[in-house]
Amino acid sequence: MLRIAIIQFPGLNTEYETRREINKTGMRGEFFRWNEDFKKLAAYDGYVIGGGFAYEDRGRAGIIASLEPIMKELKAQSEKGKPVLGICNGAQILVEAGLIPGADGNKLAMALARNKRIKDEEIIGTGYYNTWVHLKCTAPKQSCMFTWNIPEGEILRAPIAHGEGRFTTDIAELFPLLQSKGQIALRYCDRHGVITQDFPINPNGAVFNTAAICNPDGNVMAVMPHLERDFVSSAKLFTSMRDALLARKAGGLQKRSRHLHVKPVNSWPIKLFQPKEKSFKLFISLIITDNEADTFEMTIKNLGWPKISLKRKTLVELEYTGKPDFLTLSRKLIQSGVLLNTNKELATVEMPKRRLGLVEKSQEQFTFQLLIREKPDFVGMAKLATIQKRLKFSEITGVHIGTLWEIHIPTKSKNVAEQELKRLVGTNLFFNPHRQEAYLC
């Protein structure tokens, strides 16, 4: 009997329904916790990472799980041709790990970014969304192990439930290349199979209406819709996985090019932060335990930096017009609750013309400030609309929100500190350049 490991990360919540659907096809789904001896994975025939919120989506969906040691073994098993499926949060994990789209060296080549619902070229909504969608299979026959039994052009139906499901990239040639190579396995369409970019046909703004992508070999796939929640689509998905595995064991699996050549986006050097000419800042920090900072620090330690420590704040940059009374305006903004929750957060105000320090040095360590912002900044846009329309603060003309990380590196050498920072940035823990921008402050 084919054995399929269902990987359990903290926060995933679809493992039981996934196991049920796998077992229906005659395979045997078995739970495998992320902190078990990952060498035992070699005994399995295939792998599934299901949906949920691994590590509460701290930082961004999928990033913490993607850096766990177990993912190295999954990469090794995928290179042997074994199937690896990521559904929803699992898809986000595979993308952050570089297994999708499978660029040479598993380089980070795309992102699953915050949903963007677009109609008539206008953004009409962002963030979490759940509904039923139609999907067209666009993978060539038997080119992908998870669409093995699904004819090209067939239409499936399944639910979506995600906040960061928009396939996107900063590599201009990537999606045309994926389409030409048959790696875009499923695309959002209407019930007749017509593909249009507008919402609701495209529910999240994904480039090319992409709902699922496989790697060049066709044995790894990231799919955002929950195919396992529709019994018809689920049967097609997992019988495809089963029959492709049997074909592989029989030596009948079609081989494809193992290479996807794309020029990666460089995360380094990071540009310096330049405040807007007429702006002031709010620094917002938690007065309760910062679980996100603790999780990032834990991840850094697991990656081999046991002595580096972190602090996290939210940096809100507010553009203004005229000559407002900054103290009064700041007080009213803070009291309104629009920018922070005063029950658990504390805000400090920085007046115009003051600048953040690039590097702070003590006798024993260097401290770097790294500002991360989403592109585009949907949260900032929404806050601006509330400030102008509900609070009637017409003097505020722009709101830009980001996460400000203080990274404390224990060394007396500036050169060593900068090299360590570069290595940290190279893990992609702090930001994904395909959906975020980073600045040194």
Q: Which two tokens stand for residue 125?
A: 């909504």
The active-site residue, picked from 96, 228, 317, 350, is 228
φ/ψ of residue 342, rounded to 5: -70, -10
Q: What is the 3-state secondary structure (H, E, C) of 400-431?
A: EEEEEEEEEECCCCHHHHHHHHHHHHHCCCCC
The active-site residue, picked from 15, 21, 68, 88, is 88
Respond yes or no: is residue 88 known to be catalytic: yes
CA-based max dimension of the chain: 76
**Is the separation of the CB atoms in 113 and 123 below 8 Å?**
no
**Is the separation of the CB atoms in 86 and 222 below 8 Å?**
yes
Give the orientation angle of helix 15-24 with respect to helix 231-249, to 10 degrees. 60
**Is the separation of the CB atoms in 370 and 438 below 8 Å?**
yes
Helix/strand/coil percent split, the chain, to 5:
30, 30, 45
Respond yes or no: is residue 226 known to be catalytic: yes
The active-site residue, picked from 162, 226, 400, 434, is 226
CA nearest neighbour of 72 among 45, 109, 41: 41
Residue with structure tokens 């912002």?
A: 373
- Cβ neighbours of 394 (radius 10 Å): 12
Q: Does residue 390 sit in helix, strand or coil?
A: coil
Respond yes or no: is residue 259 known to be catalytic: no
Strands 46-49 and 84-87, bridge-based pairing: parallel
Active-site residue list: 88, 226, 228
